[in-house]
Amino acid sequence: MKEWDTMMSALVGSNPQAFLDLALPGCRFIKHHRNKLAISERQPDAIIEARHPVYKQFLFNPEFQTDKQDYIPERLLLYNILLRWQFEHKLPVRSEVIYLIKNEKIEQPPLCWPMLGEPNKDMMLFEYGNTAMWKKSPDDLLDLKHMELIPLLPLTDGGMEREVVEYMFARLAGKRYRQLATMGFLFAALAFRRSRRYSDQEWLERRFSYMHDILRESPAYQWILNEGIEEGIQQGIQQGMQQGMQQAVINMVVARFPELESLARARITAVSNVERLQHLIIDLTISHNQEEMERVLLSLDGDA
């Protein structure tokens, strides 16, 4: 989803070396290039120029995924070719998928296309890398000593334990790290939701309420919030803050799961508190499927 891409691009942009250390230890950052490819409308998540200790300069293209999607290897291949064309010195490109949420059915490299009429021969073989965050431990990230990796702690093996999440918030305390703390909250909420750890999710929401005044000012919170609001505005929702917010949230639900429209309209129009509607946008954004979104809607009691 666009909002997660925006968040990860910002996180990489704030410290590219952290993500080189995560995926390609020993490589050193040189330059962070603009994401949009000049010769197409394609926009990779990140383009990092780096130096390999043996093979010298190259381009690193990490792509971040919260869900398994079709044709990810083909997308990486396309980016790889476009990047080689765009840069004057035709630098080699290392393509990498960084999977944020556990999924055992992800595509494994290499991508192979058989020769037409000769199935035992490969017409094309494309190697790329996979980094699965759930195979990392919290210490794997902490040992790299980059603050920008701390928000990813809840995505690691053992990272969903409450003491780890509390440690993350403690390390990211203060206005200086407000943006990273918000990202950490969003990743923890995503991890709890996908793992059906509902009691931990409720605990996290109580924890968020305590931190809300600080975190809601961060760009990461606003990106996701505005993504939902814009869906309503784009359809001409101009009836005032409360009604506009309600319709924007309804539109978010209907765009993904039209079957939930009646439930969404009944439940969401009963919520009049604007801050609660803002928080609801976050909850719905990190809902993985129709069942999870329905559960969020059924949990609404309405407020005056």
| Of 3-12, 129-138, 219-228, highest mean pLDDT | 129-138
Residue 144 lies in a domain: no
| Alpha-carbon dihedral 13, 18, 22, 26, rounded to 10 degrees | 120
**Exposure of 2 by Cβ count < 10 A (0-12 exposed, 13-18 middle, 19+ buried)?**
exposed
Residue 141 lies in a domain: no
The answer to whether residues 103 and 126 belong to one domain is yes
Please give the pLDDT value at position 217. Answer: 64
Q: What does the DSSP 8-state code read for residue 36?
A: S
Check whether 274 has a pLDDT greater than 80. no
Residue 174 lies in a domain: yes
The answer to whether residues 75 and 12 belong to one domain is yes
Please give the pLDDT value at position 1. Answer: 54
The answer to whether residues 129 and 159 belong to one domain is no
Query: Domain containing 72: what range?
Result: 2-135
Provide the percentage of residues in the chain whose pLDDT is more than 70. 83
The answer to whether residues 170 and 280 belong to one domain is yes
Pairwise pLDDT comparison (234 vs 76), residue with the higher score: 76
Q: Strand 93-99 and strand 129-132: pairing?
A: parallel
Range from 171-180, 206-215, 275-284, 295-304 carrying the lowest mean pLDDT: 206-215
Rounded Cα distance, 259 and 295, in Å: 14
Which of 103, 135, 167 is the endpoint of a domain? 135
The answer to whether residues 106 and 178 belong to one domain is no
The answer to whether residues 292 and 230 belong to one domain is yes
Residue 303 lies in a domain: no
Residue 140 lies in a domain: no
Longest dimension (CA), the chain: 69
Please give the pLDDT value at position 28. Answer: 96
| Of 167-171, 180-184, 222-226, highest mean pLDDT | 167-171
Distance of CA 166 to the CA centre of its chain: 21
Q: For the segment 215-263, what is each residue's pLDDT rounded down to a tens digit?
A: 666 666 666 556 554 544 444 344 455 676 787 788 878 878 889 989 9
**Exposure of 248 by Cβ count < 10 A (0-12 exposed, 13-18 middle, 19+ buried)?**
buried
CA distances, 257 to each of 194, 217, 252, 281 (Å) = 17, 30, 9, 15
- Mean pLDDT, the chain, as a whole number? 83
The answer to whether residues 155 and 230 belong to one domain is yes
Average pLDDT in the 26-44 region? 83
The answer to whether residues 127 and 222 belong to one domain is no
Which of 106, 135, 164 is the endpoint of a domain? 135
Confidence label for 133 from pLDDT (cuts 50, 70 and 90): very high
Residue 127 lies in a domain: yes
Per the listing, tokens 């962070």 go with: 32
Please give the pLDDT value at position 193. Answer: 82
Please give the pLDDT value at position 155. Answer: 96
Pairwise pLDDT comparison (225 vs 73), residue with the higher score: 73
Total structural domains within the chain: 2
Confidence label for 279 from pLDDT (cuts 50, 70 and 90): confident
The answer to whether residues 160 and 230 belong to one domain is yes
Average pLDDT in the 274-301 region? 78
Which of 135, 163, 192 is the endpoint of a domain? 135
Q: Which two tokens stand for residue 48?
A: 């990092």
* DSSP labels, 9-29: HHHHHH-HHHHHHHHSTT-EE
Q: For the segment 86-120, what is each residue's pLDDT rounded down to a tens digit?
A: 876 688 999 999 999 888 788 889 999 888 888 78
φ, ψ dihedrals at 301, nearest 5°: -100, -15
Contact criterion met (CB below 8 Å) for 174 and 159: no
Check whether 288 has a pLDDT greater than 80. no
The answer to whether residues 112 and 16 belong to one domain is yes
Residue 304 lies in a domain: no
